Structure 1
Amino acid sequence: MWGGGSQAIFNNMLAVDNFALFFKLLFLAIAALVILASVDYVSKFARFRGEYYALVLLSTLGMMLMAATAELIAIYVALELTSISLYILAGFLKDPKSTEASLKYLLLGAVASAVLLYGMALVFGFTGETHLGEIARTIQVMPPQALLASPALILGIVLLVAGFGFKIAAVPFHMWVPDVYEGAPTPITAYLSVGSKAAGFAIILRVFYSAFGLPEWLSLDWGLIFAVLGAIGMTLGNVVAISQTNIKRMLGYSSIAQAGYLMVGLATVGLSPAADILGRSGLLFFLASYALTNLGAFIAIIAISGKLNSDLIDHYSGMGKRAPLLALALTLCLISLIGLPPAAGFMAKFYIFSGAVHHGLLWLVIIAVINSVISAYYYLRVVKVMWLGQPAS
């Protein structure tokens, strides 16, 4: 997939290609940083340290399988391996907030898994295949009239979008994000915000590019679906983030907005899946830069919160004087999340926005640029509090 040749193993269930390799390396880097960030945190706040690290590694294994699977049943198994590990990790602190976060994540995740499984069943019922390549070939030989007349296939695709939308925290499947991000252990919040999201986008690209990217009408449809969801998501996430006082909750809504920006790249790939190099390379670069930048922000927050014993933004007042290196690290990460030059976030947005304009999505790029300006308010508010606020006595 996407150049460099591809091989299949385990009866064509797993693909060995550049796409899978990129995401495997990304997931391993994320897991390594999360484990390093967890050492002091787990020693202070959590019991069962061995189980904690084992669950992080299990979820990482699931994410790596998600990036490589080319068969619907294997996709579901890999996704559940990741999800169940994360449900447990979200409630690892055993306090009321952490338990509430885990329970909400579990219940809503179970519903999303059921929706996803039903969508897979409908696609299988229509095509008679579970392998993504065979699904694509079956759809390709069918006349467009037969495809359009099939409510089962259309409903199956819609349910797949809904199920995967939960995993990437896309609107309107984002209800779990703020409470789970606030209540989960901070290293796991970081892991959820980058690892789970990257895995969700990996599987969306694999499924929709491999199985539904061939017929023109199908690729057009799912590209526009993601464009509309992206516009709604980035707007809602940024607007609600403005009023947040808890930095973890603020970054939770920020991650919803970031998913909206990523959907600009998805929409671009969907509108031209066979030939578009700019859109897909920009999307992968955005994913990598967002993952490392957001993870860096959370690592700084873990260190600062360890000193303050608080996640409230107002309590960060004067951190530029008390811990200038931590404040500087967090500032640089927030600037990149805004997309200001010369940060990596600026180049990432430039690439995906350029691809979108090239494929006629100027309206979506205008919405995204306006939302980037809105996001600057709440990101720079944290910077202002840290550098211009007075340290608490």
Structure 2
Amino acid sequence: MTDNFGLVAAYPEIALLVASSVIALVGVASKTPARGLIHFLTLITLAGLALMLGMRAYAGETIVGFGGLVVSDPMGNWLKCFASIAMFVTIVYGRDYAGQRDMMRGSELYTLALYALLGMFVMISGHNFLVIYLGLELLTLSSYALVALRRDDLNATEAAMKYFVLGALASGFLLYGLSLVYGATGSLALTGVMQAISGGEATLMGSKQVLVLGLVFVVAGLAFKLGAVPFHMWVPDVYHGAPTVVTLMIGGAPKLAAFAIVIRLLGEGLAPLAIDWQQMLAVLSVLSLLVGNLAAIAQTNLKRMLAFSTISQMGFLLLGLLAGVVAGADGLDATNVANAYSSSMFYVVTYVLTTLATFGVILLLSRDGFESDEITDLAGLNQRSPLYAAVMAVCMFSLAGVPPMVGFYAKLSVLQALLASSQPVYIGLAVFAVVMSLVGAFYYLRLVKVMYFDKPTQTGPIEASFDVRSVLSVNGALVVVLGILPGGLMAVCAQAIASLLG
């Protein structure tokens, strides 16, 4: 379906922009910040968006708007739905934490979070280089401000500066790469780029070299957004220095948007060059798995450990993305592509789900003047609260890939996609990934040991509101339930990818 005016395709973005502006005005107009009202309006907005997007995704309709600049398809709608839910959960978990640290003097936290989500929406819906880049910049600029929201905190300010400098560099890489691709193909639209490369126009007059050079810069920019080695330098510092609620905002929902632009740019626009970018992703995935897991072992700070864990998890995600590329007559196999991309989508969704619960426990244990961000801070947690210790243990088992947690099935689906290709190189990558998962299990299980067998260093009661306890319990339960019954979510991912490729 084509929507020439683009309004139907962009309804979620328009609704989010209007709601964000209203919440910002409420914060400015209130002499005494109406924290409760702003919090309520934000949650209602996110819940409404998730419902709208879920219904759209379930309908399975694809709408192209604004002359092909944006597309509303099942994959994009599901990712935006999951991103809205992730931001909803983050806001619920982080309210008390932010209030205790004077981060809610106005509506800045909520407004910036919604604008960051708007950037994710634009990234996911973008079907043109300019639209994707605009969405990416909206997300990153909002993220810079969120990291620096505690202006009196030296660690947060330092993290924001590092994030800004390295983020600007990565944006430059991506923009330069996209400009080279545009110069070689003469098109900014993803479909136009793909047609130009497939038709051979981009290989005429020496454009092939320019196209490959542009591809290198594009992959480098995308690797930074995913936090893949060697473009991972910002991840540990930003995770550690940012307020924990902001760390969750950066480490949760944006991973869904990053996955979307990788699929859009590489899987759609640059699909004819799949054999070229597959080799780059293979190197990035191997380095990420190796560096992420080995560096995480040496960490004593919980947030830094989870940062390196994220790097290794993104390595697994990249394995799924490259698994669909098989050398052949046309360079691609449709079945392998569908299986690989759907396994990657399943992986990133379940990773975000697990990350939400993990940081939810950390936020819950933090209190005014105390950041629960050291591994020793979780010592004896089972004696203080068996429920919260169980949620954290379930998340660690899931990240380690221990059955029957959802992380096990996510890793298994990626490995199956690799093995299905029957390529010796892919089989070798699968074996390497399994070995690195065993290495990673050490630091995940170490945290479980600390919670259940070490003596408590904190003895105070763990206080939490009813909504936080409820959401955290459901969040932890889903990590187990989706591991035992993964078929529904896997089918959603498979149908979304099939619609995209179809």
Please report the TM-score for the alignment, with normalisation by the length of structure 2: 0.75
Local SS of the residue matching 2:402: coil
Matches within 5 A, 1:178-189: 178-189=236-247
Cα separation, partners in 2 of 1:346 and 1:374, compared to 1, 3 Å: same
CA distance in 2: counterparts of 1:136 and 1:97, whole angstroms: 44
Please report the TM-score for the alignment, with normalisation by the length of structure 1: 0.95
Which amino acid in the other structure matches residue 61 of structure 1? L
- On the 8 A contact 1:62/1:78 being kept in 2, the answer is yes
CA distance in 2: counterparts of 1:76 and 1:90, whole angstroms: 21
* 1:235 positional shift: 0.9
Matches within 5 A, 1:139-158: 139-142=197-200, 146=204, 150-158=208-216
* 1:201 positional shift: 1.5
Which amino acid in the other structure matches residue 231 of structure 2? F
Partner residue of 1:117 out of 172, 175, 178: 175
The reply on whether 1:35 has 2:91 as its aligned counterpart is yes
Partner residue of 1:305 out of 360, 366, 382: 366
Counterpart in the other structure of 1:235: 290
- On the 8 A contact 2:379/2:455 being kept in 1, the answer is yes
- On the 8 A contact 1:262/1:283 being kept in 2, the answer is yes
The reply on whether 1:89 has 2:146 as its aligned counterpart is yes
Partner residue of 2:445 out of 363, 371, 380: 380
Counterpart in the other structure of 2:253: 195
* 1:275 positional shift: 3.0
- On the 8 A contact 1:118/1:156 being kept in 2, the answer is yes
Partner residue of 1:290 out of 348, 351, 359: 351
Cα separation, partners in 2 of 1:246 and 1:80, compared to 1, 3 Å: same
* 1:132 positional shift: 0.3
Counterpart in the other structure of 2:30: none
- On the 8 A contact 1:169/1:197 being kept in 2, the answer is no
Local SS of the residue matching 1:306: coil
CA distance in 1: counterparts of 2:234 and 2:387, whole angstroms: 33
CA distance in 1: counterparts of 2:208 and 2:115, whole angstroms: 39
* 1:306 positional shift: 2.9
Which amino acid in the other structure matches residue 144 of structure 2? Y
| Cα deviation digits, residues 155-198 of structure 1 (max 9, x gap) | 11110001111111011100001110001111111121122222
The reply on whether 1:315 has 2:370 as its aligned counterpart is no
* 1:93 positional shift: 1.7
CA distance in 2: counterparts of 1:299 and 1:345, whole angstroms: 18
Counterpart in the other structure of 2:71: 15
Local SS of the residue matching 1:269: coil
- On the 8 A contact 2:100/2:367 being kept in 1, the answer is no
- On the 8 A contact 2:123/2:132 being kept in 1, the answer is yes
Cα separation, partners in 2 of 1:310 and 1:16, compared to 1, 3 Å: closer
CA distance in 1: counterparts of 2:333 and 2:201, whole angstroms: 20
- On the 8 A contact 2:197/2:203 being kept in 1, the answer is no
Larger deviation, residues 357-366 vs 70-79: 357-366
Counterpart in the other structure of 2:300: 245
| Cα deviation digits, residues 311-353 of structure 1 (max 9, x gap) | 1111221111012211111110111111110010011111111
| Cα deviation digits, residues 253-291 of structure 1 (max 9, x gap) | 000000000001111134446333221111111111100
CA distance in 1: counterparts of 2:453 and 2:154, whole angstroms: 34
Cα separation, partners in 2 of 1:138 and 1:362, compared to 1, 3 Å: same
Which amino acid in the other structure matches residue 59 of structure 1? A
Cα separation, partners in 2 of 1:144 and 1:363, compared to 1, 3 Å: farther
The reply on whether 1:356 has 2:412 as its aligned counterpart is no
Which amino acid in the other structure matches residue 39 of structure 1? R
Counterpart in the other structure of 2:394: 332
The reply on whether 1:77 has 2:77 as its aligned counterpart is no
Structure showing greater Rg: 2
The reply on whether 1:275 has 2:335 as its aligned counterpart is yes
CA distance in 2: counterparts of 1:170 and 1:26, whole angstroms: 22
The reply on whether 1:98 has 2:156 as its aligned counterpart is yes
Which amino acid in the other structure matches residue 238 of structure 1? N
CA distance in 1: counterparts of 2:60 and 2:88, whole angstroms: 27
Counterpart in the other structure of 1:136: 194
- On the 8 A contact 2:83/2:254 being kept in 1, the answer is no
The reply on whether 1:220 has 2:288 as its aligned counterpart is no
* 1:250 positional shift: 0.3
The reply on whether 1:65 has 2:122 as its aligned counterpart is yes
* 1:64 positional shift: 1.3
Which amino acid in the other structure matches residue 40 of structure 1? D
CA distance in 2: counterparts of 1:269 and 1:85, whole angstroms: 34
Larger deviation, residues 305-314 vs 320-329: 305-314
* 1:220 positional shift: 1.4
- On the 8 A contact 2:120/2:257 being kept in 1, the answer is yes
* 1:148 positional shift: 8.1
- On the 8 A contact 1:209/1:273 being kept in 2, the answer is no
* 1:365 positional shift: 0.7
Local SS of the residue matching 1:170: coil
| Cα deviation digits, residues 213-257 of structure 1 (max 9, x gap) | 1x3xx2112122212210110110000000100000100000000
Deviation >4 Å, runs of 4+: 2-5, 143-149
Partner residue of 2:264 out of 206, 211, 224: 206
Cα separation, partners in 2 of 1:53 and 1:147, compared to 1, 3 Å: farther
| Cα deviation digits, residues 129-167 of structure 1 (max 9, x gap) | 000000000111117964986221111111000111111
Counterpart in the other structure of 1:263: 318
* 1:21 positional shift: 1.0
Q: Which runs of 5+ in 1 are unaligned?
A: none
Q: Percent identity, aligned pairs only?
A: 37
Aligned residues: CA RMSD: 1.9
- On the 8 A contact 1:279/1:352 being kept in 2, the answer is yes
Local SS of the residue matching 2:366: helix
Which amino acid in the other structure matches residue 286 of structure 1? Y
The number of aligned residues is 389
The reply on whether 1:107 has 2:168 as its aligned counterpart is no
* 1:49 positional shift: 4.2
Cα separation, partners in 2 of 1:49 and 1:339, compared to 1, 3 Å: farther
The reply on whether 1:161 has 2:219 as its aligned counterpart is yes
